[in-house]
Amino acid sequence: METLDTFSCTFLPATALAKLSAATIRRHVQVLRGCAGDRDTVAVVARCTSRAARRSVLMLTRNRLVITTESPVLRRVSLHLNADLHQLADVTWTPEPGRTGIQLGVTAIDGVRENLWVRLPDKTEMWRLDEALKQAFRTPWGQIAAASTPTVPRLARVALRFA
């Protein structure tokens, strides 16, 4: 049996908690892994949209915030934002329990302001992302707990293996 690296061990449970489809995982995993590396711990993965109504995936790790964007017709994945947590300024978020999502705003190091709507499958995931954002941006050392779930769906493991 092969052993999974730290990224895979935490990315798969995070995608299972976010209820992302295997096709979405397969399209975005290479770009996300390239940004985070094999040793970074993934806290949250979620679908999000920007003002341009682009379909995107947000990944919050212990060290980075990564957002990938999918083109509408060909579904090509490109990197939208890849920043260390300490490079982000004026990070604000507003949980909206009625809509099970979070309105997130960040300013990147180049001064560009990103406003995102992060869609989550349920209120539990919304509060988990809220807690991860608090740990990342409101604690002195920015310690973020990894996503954890007792089992990882077999379909997600297969999708990651073929990516």
Q: Are residues 112 and 98 in contact, defined by beta-carbon separation less than 8 angstroms?
A: no
Residue range(s) defining the domain that contains residue 83: 6-162
Name the nearest CA neighbour of 115 among 123, 125, 107.
Answer: 107
Asked whether residue 96 is domain-assigned, the answer is yes
Give the integer Cα–Cα distance in Å for 55 and 22: 16
Give the integer Cα–Cα distance in Å for 42 and 8: 9
Average pLDDT over the chain, rounded to whole?
83
- In terms of pLDDT, which residue wins out, 109 or 143? 109
Q: Which CATH number characterizes residue 84's domain?
A: 2.30.29.30
The count of domains in the chain is 1
pLDDT tens-place string over residues 29-87: 999 999 987 788 999 999 999 877 678 999 999 889 999 998 888 888 999 999 999 99
Asked whether residue 15 is domain-assigned, the answer is yes
Asked whether residue 1 is domain-assigned, the answer is no
pLDDT at 24 > cutoff 50: yes
Q: What is the pLDDT of residue 73?
A: 82
Asked whether residue 19 is domain-assigned, the answer is yes
0.85 surpassed by pTM:
no
